[in-house]
Structure 1
C-alpha cells in the first residue's frame, strides 16, 4: 500500500514536471509573437531561447523518466540548437560592443 502510494505520488510529480516543461516550451511562441508585434517585424527575442532551454531541459528530464528514446533524441537535439543560438547571439552582442568602442 505504501509502495503504491509512493509510485502514484512519483508519477504525479513527474506528470506535473512534464506539463510544466510543456507549458514553458509552448509559452516561447507567445513570447516571440508579442516581441514581433512590439517590433512590427518578425523577430526572436532572447527570452525565446531561454524558454526553449528551460522547457527543453524539463521535457528532456521527463523523457528520461518515461524512458522514451524518440522523445529523448528530439529534446537532446533541440537543446543543442537552443544553446548554439544563445552562443551566436552573445557573440553578435560582443562584436557589436567591440565595433562601437573603436
Structure 2
C-alpha cells in the first residue's frame, strides 16, 4: 500500500514537473525564484545589522518577482495569482514611493 502511494506521488510529480515542462513553467519558476530572493536579501541585511532590516533591494526584488509572477498568472489565466500580484505590486510601489519621499525630505533638511 505504501508503495502504491509512493508510485502515485512519483507519477504526480513527474506529470507536473517533467511531462508538462515548457517555457511558461520555466518562466514561472524563475519568477518564483526572483520573488523568493527578496527574503534572502532581507535576511542577510538583518543578520549584518543585528536587527530586522528591510533594505531597498527587498522592494525591487518584490516588484521584479511580483511582475514576473503576474505575467505568468496572466498567461496561465490564473485569477488568484493575477489578483494577488496586482494588489501586492501596488503595495510594493507605494513603499518605494514612501521611502524615496522620506529620503528627499531628509536631504532637504540637511541642505538647509
Q: TM-score range by the shorter chain?
A: 0.7 to 0.9
RMSD: 0.9
Correspondence 1:72-83 to 2 at 5 A: 72-83=82-93
Q: Hey, which bits of structure 1, 4+ residues long, moved more than 6 A?
A: none
1:11-30: CA deviation from partner (whole Å, max 9, x where unpaired): 61111111011001011001
Unaligned regions of 5+ residues in structure 1, if any?
A: 1-10
Q: How many pairs does the alignment contain?
A: 92
**Other-structure match for 2:39:** 29
TM normalised by structure 2 equals: 0.80
**Other-structure match for 2:27:** 17
Correspondence 1:79-98 to 2 at 5 A: 79-98=89-108
Q: Which has the larger radius of gyration?
A: 2
Does residue 1:42 correspond to 2:47, yes or no? Answer: no
TM normalised by structure 1 equals: 0.87
The separation in 1 between residues aligned to 2:22 and 2:99, in whole angstroms, is 37
Q: Secondary structure at the match of 1:41?
A: coil
